[in-house]
């Protein structure tokens, strides 16, 4: 954990780029150019915007760190989540660029160079990233909300780099620990913190990493219990898949069709009774017709 925090700090020290800098020159950051967009008919890679450079830095961090520093570690997925938070935090520095969520970032800045990433030595880390972003809630979560999670992680990183190796610093780090607990409490109450969500999972991971420190520094305050909320009906409906939607349409359609069908066949029954048809044959005829209707309705289900 402290190695990743140290790398975050190293990247932040290198990326001394103002988000609003319209004359960005990625040649100043040669170590971060590997995943810039292809230019000059694919003969060169160059980042021409803040977003492109940050995304290239993200991929460099993701693919190289997981492969070289965290290879085969069971904490891979956790670290990939943390690196994603770093990306969102950096991009949120320039929110006016239209970057709203991870889905937008992936489609605009990563998808086109994926075939080159898949040939790199960091493909395992990239696959971990792809597995995480398959969850719709993390792909569509606003990067501003993701940034708040990173801000809490940033405080935790400060605790790890300054306190974890030297217990004598526990008293000195108490203020930062209190700040983390306060930040965690606010995130815990956020409406994004719902049962089984990526947001709740990240909070759970942050809390476990804090508890590791708290075991070393017993003067640190305890975290509030993680209390994810039940998903609202609106959220549930939004996350429903196509099959559920189809079933919903069918369920709505069937009562409507039956509303028209039943009076129609009652009218037929009345008509047949006027002409003196045998009541038994009449009932048999209606039963067969209603069976056909139900069979058609079940087909839509």
Please choose, from the candidates 199, 8, 157, 1, the residue with its C-alpha nearest in 3D space to the C-alpha of residue 86. Answer: 8
184 in any annotated domain: yes
Q: What is the Cα 176 distance to its own chain's centre?
A: 28
Tell me which residue of 75, 76, 105 sits closest to 88, measured CA to CA: 105
- Pick the closest to residue 125 from 61, 212, 41, 210 (CA basis): 61
Model pLDDT, residue 136: 80
Give DSSP secondary structure letters for 37-102. Answer: PEETTTTEE---SHHHHHHHHHHHHHHHHHHHTSTT-TTHHHHHHHHHHHHHHHHGGGGGG---BH
Residue-level pLDDT, tens digit, the chain, 301 residues: 888 898 898 888 887 766 666 556 667 777 788 898 888 887 788 888 888 889 999 999 998 877 676 555 546 788 999 999 999 999 888 766 678 899 999 999 999 888 888 988 788 888 889 988 888 889 999 999 999 999 999 999 999 988 766 666 788 899 999 999 999 999 999 999 999 999 999 999 999 999 999 998 989 999 999 999 987 655 544 444 433 444 444 444 444 433 444 444 345 344 434 434 344 444 554 555 555 555 544 544 4
Which of 120, 132, 112 has the alpha carbon at shortest distance from 37?
112
Q: How far is CA 166 from CA 141, 171, 176, 217, in A?
A: 37, 11, 15, 10
Q: Report if residue 296 sits inside a domain.
A: yes
- Tokens 């932040």 label which residue? 12
The DSSP secondary structure of 134-185, one letter per residue, reads: TSHHHHHSBHHHHHHHHHHHHHHHHHHHHHTT-GGGHHHHHHHHHHHHHHHH
Residues 198 and 257 occupy one common structural domain: no
Strand partners, 38: 45
CA contacts within 13 A on the Cβ side of 181: 16
Examine the domain organization and report whether 19 and 124 are in the same domain.
yes
Q: Domain of residue 199: give its range.
A: 158-231
Structural domains counted in the chain? 3
Q: Is residue 153, in this structure, part of any structural domain at all? A: no
Asked if 61 and 55 touch (Cβ cutoff 8 Å), the reply is no
In a domain, 123, yes or no: yes
Which among 185, 175, 129 has a CA at the least distance from the CA of 152? 185
11, part of any domain: yes
DSSP letter at 120? S
**Do 260 and 292 fall within a single domain?**
yes
Tokens of 237: 């409906």
Q: Tell me what pLDDT residue 185 has.
A: 97
pLDDT value at position 21?
A: 60
- Among residues 231, 254, 269, the one where a domain terminates is 231
Closest by CA position to 205, among listed 91, 101, 84, 89: 84
Query: Is the domain of 292 the same as that of 262?
Result: yes
Q: What is the pLDDT of residue 19?
A: 61
One domain, residues 17 and 123:
yes
Same domain, 168 and 102: no
Task: List, in sequence order, every residue forming a beta bridge with 44; answer none if it has no partner.
Answer: 39
200 CA to centre of own chain: 11
What is the pLDDT at residue 184? 97
* 47/24 Cα distance (integer angstroms): 8
Domain contains 14:
yes
CB 54 within 8 A of CB 111: no
**Cα 61 from Cα 87, distance rounded (Å):** 10
**DSSP secondary structure letter of residue 193:** -
Intra-chain end-to-end CA distance of the chain, in Å: 50
Query: Is 54 within 8 Å of 84 (Cβ atoms)?
Result: no
């Amino acid at each position: 954990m402290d190695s990743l925090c140290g790398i975050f700090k190293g990247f932040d020290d290198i990326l001394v780029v103002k988000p609003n800098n319209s004359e960005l020159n990625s040649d100043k950051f040669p170590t971060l150019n590997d995943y810039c967009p292809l230019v000059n008919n694919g003969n060169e890679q160059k980042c021409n915007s803040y977003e492109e450079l940050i995304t290239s830095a993200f991929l460099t961090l993701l693919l190289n760190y997981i492969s070289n520093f965290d290879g085969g570690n069971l904490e891979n997925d956790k670290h990939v989540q943390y690196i994603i938070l770093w990306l969102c935090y950096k991009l949120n520095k320039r929110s006016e660029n239209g970057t709203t969520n991870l889905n937008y970032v992936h489609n605009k800045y990563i998808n086109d160079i994926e075939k080159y990433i898949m040939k790199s030595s960091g493909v395992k880390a990239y696959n971990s990233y792809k597995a995480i972003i398959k969850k719709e809630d993390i792909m569509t979560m606003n990067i501003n909300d993701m940034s708040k999670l990173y801000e809490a992680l940033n405080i935790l990183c400060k605790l790890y780099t300054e306190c974890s190796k030297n217990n004598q610093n526990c008293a000195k780090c108490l203020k930062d620990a209190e700040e983390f607990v306060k930040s965690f409490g606010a995130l815990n109450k956020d409406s994004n913190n719902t049962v089984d969500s990526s947001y709740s999972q990240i909070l759970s991971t942050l809390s476990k990493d804090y508890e590791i420190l708290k075991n070393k520094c017993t003067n640190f305050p305890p975290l509030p219990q993680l209390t994810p909320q039940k998903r609202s009906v609106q959220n549930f409906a939004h996350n429903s898949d196509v099959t559920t939607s189809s079933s919903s349409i069918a369920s709505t359609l069937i009562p409507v069709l039956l509303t028209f069908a039943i009076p129609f066949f009652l009218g037929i029954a009345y008509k047949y009774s006027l002409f003196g048809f045998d009541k038994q044959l009449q009932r048999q005829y209606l039963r067969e017709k209603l069976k056909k209707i139900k069979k058609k309705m079940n087909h839509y289900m």
